[in-house]
Structure 1
């Protein structure tokens, strides 16, 4: 991968590193230099970034650099250039570069994952200096009760199977990726199994979640990156889940990770077409539901919450959507328009 080309394409001569504290956590992103002239917003993505910033949200650009990296150096350079220009806008604190990295995305070996992270960090430190780099990571082995005491036979078999299916996402391989200091923030999915599976093992879903996060701390991931949880909670049509089941899901996927040290929780998604249907957190027409009320409650309790927004998929319009979105979320991933 011709990273020098990617750096030169954005007109920056010297990469700038993201400095970390002694604990390994990234320092806050630097604001744009006063000498940088930000052009008026003209594209839907620029307008969305600016509007989210005015709403008081911290803005993260969302791009699939994996797809562009696998497509070759020309497409990778073009995507980095687009992201670098958009990152100049006020309010942008970081860039998400991968969705479930290494999981059915073409990064099917340890060597590919390492090369992708190295190339992306090199290019983005030059194209968007001071911006945090975030990856979305699903680790199948974490759902298998790692280091549960006492060890459980079926959990051990589960872990062996997952390592065989996804060797590039084995726990020890993830240790190396995060220890390379090529990313600053990780949105982590612990890939929990169905509750019936855990009941058969003699445990429950909350126990599995706490065990997974305990393993994360044992391995020291929280010492080298900022760890955040993630969960897809959007639904098609009107929300039909009961109050009790909704609260159980929020406890498992929001409350427990926060108690276990997650700095924030990423909740997919504001509004997106998926498998032929529109998925939302609210009901159609920006109507509240039990899930939304539960998220409002978590925000009032001090939770830092992320969601995803694309200017091409809005319920009523950019300003109207952001006004409601900002009632729950502190941070928003805005699509960068890199394809």
Structure 2
């Protein structure tokens, strides 16, 4: 009986589907018997529509049909007889594959140099890939001479030597990595390479080498190499942003092989939800972080993690009567609808929990993004200094300790150059409430 019920539930689950569809399907009215819009939350954007492919009643009927009489119909079912051609049979004609050998076998043509362990080259002579990562080809979007120069830098970047790794371990950041390891924290390096990249090849190469030496240690899981990408004023054009991401990714893939790469940014349009006037204004203010400009970084494989700032969403949407909570919820609905978590790990960046906060605020800003399934991780700043020089510190330690079920998904952003006590003591405290730490590296 257990087997029968499991089969019935499996068939019902496959056929009972509620889908997110495009505005073209919005013509279905609320009176449509296949509409499941009543299952959507009150704050769901208007363009999200739910429609049953099979109503629960229909799905039950299908399940009962296949499960009746001890699965008699299911046992008697046979595979669909498709149309196949036996290429070995007399009179059969099958197309021949172009080139020598079967695609993927040992006789397949390969770029010059691969047999000797070299790097494949593009037809233009530029390096185009290393270990599956694009390094010298066209970047996402438009290319530039700066891209080729930076790609050339990437092609000469090598992993740190044993001596360089040992020297890096003796630096303040290296000592903080050691202290973090002792507490069991998973370590990311949080650095900024945009200014070094803009400064030229020599400065960029030196910065990549320094970060690569720190990241060479096995306890370092990844490198976040820029913050507020496209949102701040560092870059002026799409081409610049694309060239930087491509070059930084390529260089770090070589300098720190096997390490995950991440960026931090914000997509202001996401907070607008379905308000077209709001979206139009946000695109006008922040053209470099429109959703279609950000997604290529993920789909091209240049980065493995994207941190989306939620603190930057607070304020600025009053014109459209969107408060901070609605802005945050709109953002995560948009992320889920675009399935960005399929392309890269999505993290929520939260700077608004410093100072005095309530338990409800902690739950809303830490638990909600993870429990809703939109973000796989939440990054909290432990110290924030405003434009006037006032420093606000994280105080909600006891509330954060109560979030034990998601502790591994919560990371602290910590700068060992500005410790509260000392790095070892601070990191031990951080490990009581967090599972990961981003060490700010200058």
Q: Is TM more than 0.5 here?
A: yes
- Secondary structure at the residue paired with 2:235? coil
Match of 1:222 among 341, 347, 355: 341
Question: Residue 157 in 1 paired to residue 304 in 2?
Answer: no
Conserved in 1, the CA contact under 8 Å of 2:189 and 2:439?
yes
The one-character-per-residue Cα deviations of 1:117-161 (angstroms, maximum 9, x if unpaired) are: 10011100100000000111111111111x3xxxxxxx3211111
The structure-2 alpha-carbon separation of the partners of 1:227 and 1:319, relative to structure 1 and needing over 3 Å to count, comes to same
The structure-2 alpha-carbon separation of the partners of 1:310 and 1:72, relative to structure 1 and needing over 3 Å to count, comes to same
Match of 2:318 among 182, 197, 203: 197
Range with greater deviation from structure 2 (77-86 or 299-308): 299-308
Distance 1:82 1:105 in 2: 25
Q: Structure 1 unaligned segments of length 5 or more: list them.
A: 13-31, 148-154, 283-290
Query: Paired residue for 1:64?
Result: 192
Distance 2:359 2:328 in 1: 15
Match of 2:413 among 296, 308, 315: 308
- Secondary structure at the residue paired with 1:315? coil
Task: Report 1:317-336 matches (<5 A).
Answer: 317-336=422-441
- Secondary structure at the residue paired with 1:102? coil
Query: Paired residue for 2:182?
Result: 54
Query: Paired residue for 1:258?
Result: 370
How far residue 49 of structure 1 moved from its aligned partner, in angstroms, is 0.9
TM-score w.r.t. the length of structure 1 is: 0.78
- Secondary structure at the residue paired with 1:39? helix
Conserved in 1, the CA contact under 8 Å of 2:216 and 2:256?
yes
The one-character-per-residue Cα deviations of 1:219-268 (angstroms, maximum 9, x if unpaired) are: 22111011111110354xxx444xxxx23322332122112221110011
Distance 1:196 1:248 in 2: 22
Please identify runs of 4+ aligned residues in structure 1 that moved more than 6 A. none
**Larger-Rg structure:** 2
Instruction: Provide the aligned length of Structure 1 versus Structure 2.
Output: 290
The structure-2 alpha-carbon separation of the partners of 1:111 and 1:7, relative to structure 1 and needing over 3 Å to count, comes to closer
Distance 1:109 1:274 in 2: 28
Distance 1:196 1:66 in 2: 29
Question: Residue 6 in 1 paired to residue 133 in 2?
Answer: no
Match of 1:75 among 192, 203, 209: 203
Conserved in 1, the CA contact under 8 Å of 2:348 and 2:379?
yes
Query: Paired residue for 2:391?
Result: 278
Distance 2:209 2:230 in 1: 24
Distance 2:294 2:150 in 1: 23
The structure-2 alpha-carbon separation of the partners of 1:204 and 1:11, relative to structure 1 and needing over 3 Å to count, comes to closer
Distance 1:298 1:108 in 2: 41
Greater relative contact order (Cα < 8 A, sep 6+): 1
- Secondary structure at the residue paired with 1:98? coil
- Secondary structure at the residue paired with 2:421? coil
TM-score w.r.t. the length of structure 2 is: 0.61
How far residue 309 of structure 1 moved from its aligned partner, in angstroms, is 1.9
Conserved in 1, the CA contact under 8 Å of 2:262 and 2:304?
yes
Distance 1:4 1:187 in 2: 25
Task: Report 1:25-64 matches (<5 A).
Answer: 38-39=165-166, 41-64=169-192
Distance 2:412 2:228 in 1: 15
Match of 1:134 among 220, 245, 262: 262
Query: Paired residue for 1:179?
Result: 299
Q: Structure 2 unaligned segments of length 5 or more: list them.
A: 1-145
The one-character-per-residue Cα deviations of 1:71-96 (angstroms, maximum 9, x if unpaired) are: 22111111101000111123101001
- Secondary structure at the residue paired with 1:61? strand
Distance 1:4 1:206 in 2: 42
Distance 2:194 2:317 in 1: 34
Distance 1:212 1:8 in 2: 38
Query: Paired residue for 1:111?
Result: 239
Conserved in 2, the CA contact under 8 Å of 1:52 and 1:58?
yes
